[in-house]
Copies of this chain bind each other. A is one copy, B any other.
Amino acid sequence: MGVRIHEVAVRAGVSVATASRALSGQRGVRAENRDRVLAAARELDYEPNAVAAALRSRVTHTIGMIVPRISNPFFATLVEAVEGRLQDGRRSLLLAGSHYDPEVERQQVRSLLDRRVDALVAVPCHQHHSTETIGNAAERVPVTQLDLRVDGFHGDWVGVDNEAGVFQVVDHLAALGAHSLAFVGSHPSDSSAQARLDGYERAAARHAHHSGPVLLGDFSKEWGRQAAEKLMDSEGLPDAVVCGNDTIALGVLAALIERGVRVPEEVMVTGFDDIPYAELSRPALTTVRQPQERLAAEAVRLLTSVMEGEQRPPQRIAVAPDLLVRGSTKR
């Protein structure tokens, strides 16, 4: 197999202990010996066995991440942003997907912990059924919840202020003169769905409208299509359809346009997330941008601070999102 630290030590004429210290850059090694060890390592093309190092030092330099669906562009962007932040150090990312199933999530998290990840970034798939999984994990390693969070467990969380985002949307629509609204979202099984629904109802109330039809399904374009059909089949389309996320909104948009409804003249449509394709639809989608780079950076920062032993109470960081006005709401 490969060359071991023992060979490096022999070639450098020092003990294994000294070689180890030199390679990990610890102080307590004379410069001359350090240089000879490093030279020997280079000459032999020494590749340290990270598994052995992890066993003894109890640090794997690996962090775990679990998301509901890897292929969702929103989560994929988060994964990329987290991975990018880790690369600075020499850390790697063990990735798992829960497919929105709390039982799968439980097993996946357990598998990550068995592998002794140093910390966990979790986007929990359910605001209630994920609580135990997240809580158990948090007893073993530092955990930061990202984007979504569970109910009944108070730990670090970084996400966007969903209610504020929905408020901006509704204010914007009201300013454009929309009187009747509808909401197409997801059943509140996760914290974002919940917050966006709550935000919508409070915002609509604030503008003294009744909130109009509220249709709840899941975060898919298919559901967006279905919901749009329902709205068109009922009497009187609303002035604007507020959607729980971009995927739904794109489905709604496609269904409306297929049936010849003009957007935004007859009905305005808004999304949430600003996924990469929100700006490519016709009309381009007015939406709420989540600063994912920032979210990921904060999440990694929180984890790192705990891993370095910082003692502090759990933090919840709600980043304010930006409204992006595009063609789907302009007159």
Interface residues of A (CB under 8 A from B): 47-52, 54-55, 60, 62, 69-73, 76-77, 79-80, 83-84, 87, 90, 92-97, 104, 108, 110-116, 221, 250-251, 253-254, 257, 276-277, 279-282, 284
A72 to chain B, nearest CB (A): 8
Selected contact of A116 from candidates B50, B76, B90, CB within 8 Å: B50
Closest to A280 in B: B250
Q: Are B97 and A112 in contact (CB under 8 A)?
A: no
Q: Are A70 and B62 in contact (CB under 8 A)?
A: no
Give the complex CA separation of A83 and B67 in angstroms: 12
- Give the dominant DSSP class at A's interface: helix
Q: Is the CB of B93 within 8 A of A92?
A: no
Nearest residue, chain B, Cβ from A113 = B47
* A47-B114 CB under 8 A given contacts A62-B94, A76-B70, A76-B76: yes
A257 CB contact (under 8 Å) in B84, B110, B253, B282: B282
Contact check, B47 vs A51: say whether CB atoms are below 8 A apart.
Answer: no
Q: Judging by beta carbons under 8 Å apart, are A83 and B97 in contact?
A: yes
11 inter-chain pairs at a CB distance below 8 angstroms, sorted by A residue, are A47-B110, A47-B114, A48-B114, A49-B55, A51-B116, A70-B79, A73-B73, A76-B76, A87-B108, A92-B112, A277-B280
Query: Which residue from chain B places its CB closest to the CB of A251 in the assembled complex?
Result: B280
The residue in chain B whose Cβ has the minimal distance to the Cβ of A275 is B277
Please measure, in the bound complex, the distance between the C-alpha atom of A71 and the C-alpha atom of B71, giving whole angstroms.
Answer: 9
Q: Given the interface contacts A95-B95, A281-B282, does A116 sit within 8 Å of B70 by beta carbon?
A: no
A115 touches B83 (CB 8 A): no
Give the residues in chain B near A111, CB-CB below 8 Å: 90, 92
Q: Could you tell me if B114 and A49 are in contact, using CB atoms closer than 8 angstroms?
A: yes
Contacts of A92 in B (CB 8 A): 94, 96, 111-112, 115
| Chain B residues in 8 Å Cβ range of A72 | 76
Query: Which listed residue, B71, B94, B281, touches A281 by the CB 8 Å rule?
Result: B281
B277 touches A254 (CB 8 A): no
Chain B residues, CB < 8 A from A112: 92
Q: Which residues on B sit within 8 Å (CB–CB) of A87?
A: 104, 108
Known: A111-B92, A280-B281. Is A71-B62 also a contact (CB below 8 A)? no
Partner of A71, one of B73, B94, B115, B250: B73
Shortest Cβ distance from A267 into chain B, in angstroms? 15
- Name the distance in Å between A278's Cβ and chain B's nearest Cβ: 9
Residues of B within 8 A of A93 (CB): 94-96
